[in-house]
């Protein structure tokens, strides 16, 4: 009898105690979050009522908001018939949008977006209902105050909770025990990402595959090997695994049904990592031909009108911030001049869109003869792929180390943006020697303008493997939008402030 048929014929297994306890804990956490949201929504409306009728506003707002309000003041109890439906409506909306879903985890920006959209819809429906039912009975302004205060309260406590949670995870507390199914290619990349980002909240217990991964010429990082694919059930039971990521190469996808079934029977959460990248493209569009599904590589979105929009946004952003950035650049240049001898600006040849070469400008962060000394340090390279990175590079000056951690060394690249050689957001520009060692699929990142910052800086910076960085660059090029650029900027701020992965 085939192994997969035998797996299907087996009775459902009991959920391991540790896994069951973790799942119950997540349900309790989701319920407590929902309850806490309801309390904050109520107090948000209380605060809105206080702002509308009782707060001491400065002139002339005092007359508009307070004195005019007292002419038709309504007792707070009169608002209860609309507060309770609003609380129920938002609870249903939050639940439907996955805000209380224990797994997969919802990113902080996604949570705030869900909250904002839900509040706008809830307040709008409430206004329509109230003024159809009782015209001019309630103040319109209180609904504006309520929306702002509720959004502020819900967002603030989630930001605080996320910061505390990230701190706990970064210090090894409360992490989920995770197992990776797959040891080479995609599996290795998943494990590298988990190991370099403890703030994700995962404790990597190891991986399973048909054969262990050994050190290779490219210095592949070796993780704990726990057994073969047929040992998945036993390893989950013995190791108390709470999360499984299945990251098999595409030629092993025939094993997926039996592996997924084991996770389902044991009640363990699992995630599938599709290995489209082995086919040298990042994302795909699906089409049908007489009912047959077809996949084709996704086109680059940064073309035509989108390219014009992005260019307008880039130029506008540089010119609007010029008074501040020019003053900051002048101060940095003065400090560099006082700190060490040599030029203030470092000029280096980089590869831009379409493989064209251009002069990229940065504040100098190394000793003047840094390029000549690079050959001496090649053996100490800590990055994989064709790039060179060294955490404690002796060529970096004391001031340069701070400039790199804060990313202020890249401020002169705004001049490259004005010249049209770079964009504010995009893949980081590569050196010609690095591009010469690119694999074929790596070159897809050269189809868009390089940027001062990108998804790599937002998510991991130098802690990511080179292949991971390229995949993020390709994803960005194929899924670009103005909203994505804005989100990347918001994500880069905490990454830069924390200096995560910068060296």
Alpha-carbon distance of 475 to 455, in angstroms, equals 9
What pLDDT score does 391 carry?
63
Note whether 412 and 406 are within 8 A (CB): no
Please compute the mean of the pLDDT values over residues 326-341 and round it to a whole number.
89
Mean pLDDT of 25-38: 83
pLDDT of residue 285: 55
pLDDT of residue 417: 95
Q: Where are the alpha helices (DSSP H) in 267-397?
A: 305-320, 322-339, 370-377
Q: Which tens digits make up the pLDDT trace of 283-313? A: 555 554 444 555 555 677 788 888 899 999 9
What is the structure's pLDDT at 339? 81
pLDDT, one tens digit per residue, over 170-210 is 777 878 888 999 887 778 878 887 887 777 788 888 898 88
pLDDT band for position 16 (cuts 50, 70, 90): low
- The partner residues of 271 in beta bridges, in order of sequence, read 245
- pLDDT of amino acid 402: 84
Q: Which of 296, 286, 309, 298 is nearest to 481 (CA)?
A: 309
Give the model's pLDDT for residue 57: 59
Q: Check residue 62 and give its pLDDT.
A: 53
Q: What is the pLDDT of residue 142?
A: 81
| Model pLDDT, residue 42 | 93
Q: Are 191 and 209 a contacting pair, CB within 8 Å?
A: no
pLDDT at 449 (0 to 100): 93
Q: Over 80: is that where the pLDDT of 355 sits?
A: yes
pLDDT value at residue 1: 39
According to DSSP, residue 178 is labeled E
Predicted pLDDT at 149? 93
Q: List alpha helices for 68-213, DSSP H.
A: 68-70, 80-96, 108-133, 140-170, 186-196
Residue with tokens 């998945």: 232
Predicted local confidence at residue 192, as pLDDT: 82
Half-sphere exposure in the Cβ direction for 270 (13 Å, CA): 22
Q: Find the mean pLDDT for residues 486-499.
A: 72
Q: Which of 109-123, 222-236, 407-421 has the highest mean pLDDT?
A: 407-421
Q: 149: Cβ–Cβ under 8 A, 6 or more apart, which residues?
A: 44, 45, 47, 48, 51
Phi, psi (5° rounding) for residue 262?
-60, -45
Query: pTM score, two decimals?
Result: 0.50
- The residues, ordered by sequence, that sit 6+ positions from 403 with a Cβ below 8 Å of its Cβ are 332, 363, 365, 409
Q: pLDDT averaged over the chain?
A: 77
- Mean pLDDT value across residues 57-73: 54
Q: 423: which 2 tokens?
A: 């964009």
Is the per-residue pLDDT at 2 higher than 60? no
Q: Name the percent of the chain lying above pLDDT 70.
A: 73
Q: Which helix (H) or strand (E) holds 493?
A: helix 482-498
Domains belonging to the chain, first-starting first, are 17-170 (no CATH), 175-279 (3.40.50.720), 305-498 (no CATH)
How far apart, in whole angstroms, are the C-alpha atoms of residue 328 and residue 423?
A: 20
Residue 499 near residue 407 (C-beta atoms within 8 A): no
Q: Specify the range with the lowest mean pLDDT, choosing from 49-53, 109-113, 280-284, 336-340.
A: 280-284
Report the alpha-carbon distance of residue 419 to residue 6 in Å, rounded.
65
Residue 349: strand, helix, or coil: strand
């Amino acid at each position: 009898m085939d192994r997969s048929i035998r797996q299907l014929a087996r009775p459902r297994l009991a959920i391991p105690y540790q896994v069951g306890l973790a799942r119950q804990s997540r349900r309790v956490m989701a319920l407590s979050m929902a309850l806490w949201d309801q309390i904050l929504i109520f107090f948000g409306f209380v605060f809105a009522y206080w702002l509308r009728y009782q707060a001491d506003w400065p002139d002339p707002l005092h007359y508009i908001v307070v004195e005019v309000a007292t002419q038709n003041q309504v007792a707070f109890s009169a608002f209860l018939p609309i507060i309770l439906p609003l609380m129920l409506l938002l609870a249903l909306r939050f639940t439907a949008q996955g805000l209380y879903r224990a797994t997969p985890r919802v990113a902080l920006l996604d949570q705030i977006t869900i909250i904002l959209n839900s509040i706008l819809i809830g307040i709008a429906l409430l206004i329509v209902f109230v003024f159809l039912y009782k015209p001019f009975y309630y103040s319109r302004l209180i609904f504006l105050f309520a929306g702002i205060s509720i959004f502020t309260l819900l967002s603030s406590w989630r930001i605080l909770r996320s910061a505390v949670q990230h701190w706990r995870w970064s210090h090894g507390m409360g992490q989920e025990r995770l197992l990776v199914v797959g040891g080479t290619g995609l599996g290795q990349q998943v494990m590298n990402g988990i190991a370099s980002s403890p703030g994700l909240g995962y404790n990597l217990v190891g991986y399973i595959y048909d054969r262990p991964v050994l050190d290779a010429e490219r210095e592949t990082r070796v993780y704990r090997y726990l057994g073969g694919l047929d040992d998945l059930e036993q390893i989950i039971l013995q190791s108390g695994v709470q999360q499984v990521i299945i990251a098999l190469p595409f030629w092993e996808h025939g094993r997926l049904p039996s592996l997924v079934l084991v996770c389902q029977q044991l009640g363990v959460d699992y995630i599938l990592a599709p290995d489209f990248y082995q086919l040298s493209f990042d994302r795909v569009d699906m089409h049908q031909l007489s009912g047959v599904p077809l996949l084709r590589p996704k086109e680059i979105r940064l073309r035509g009108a989108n390219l014009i929009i992005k260019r307008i946004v880039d130029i506008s952003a540089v010119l609007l911030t010029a008074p501040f950035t020019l003053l900051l650049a002048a101060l940095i240049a003065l400090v560099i001049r006082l700190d060490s001898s040599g030029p203030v600006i470092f000029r280096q040849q980089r590869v831009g869109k379409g493989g064209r070469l251009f002069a990229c400008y940065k504040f100098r962060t190394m000793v003047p003869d840094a390029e000549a000394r690079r050959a001496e340090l090649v053996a100490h390279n800590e990055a994989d792929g064709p790039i060179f990175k060294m955490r404690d590079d002796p060529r970096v000056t004391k001031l340069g180390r701070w400039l790199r951690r804060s990313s202020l060394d890249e401020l002169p690249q705004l001049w490259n943006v004005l010249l049209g050689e770079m964009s504010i957001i995009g893949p980081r520009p590569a050196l010609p020697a690095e591009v010469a060692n690119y694999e074929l699929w790596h070159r897809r990142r050269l189809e868009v303008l390089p940027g001062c910052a990108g998804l790599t800086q937002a998510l991991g910076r130098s802690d990511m493997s080179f292949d991971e960085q390229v995949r993020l660059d390709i994803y960005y090029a194929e899924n670009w939008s103005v909203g994505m650029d804005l989100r990347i900027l918001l994500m880069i701020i905490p990454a830069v402030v924390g200096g995560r992965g910068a060296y």
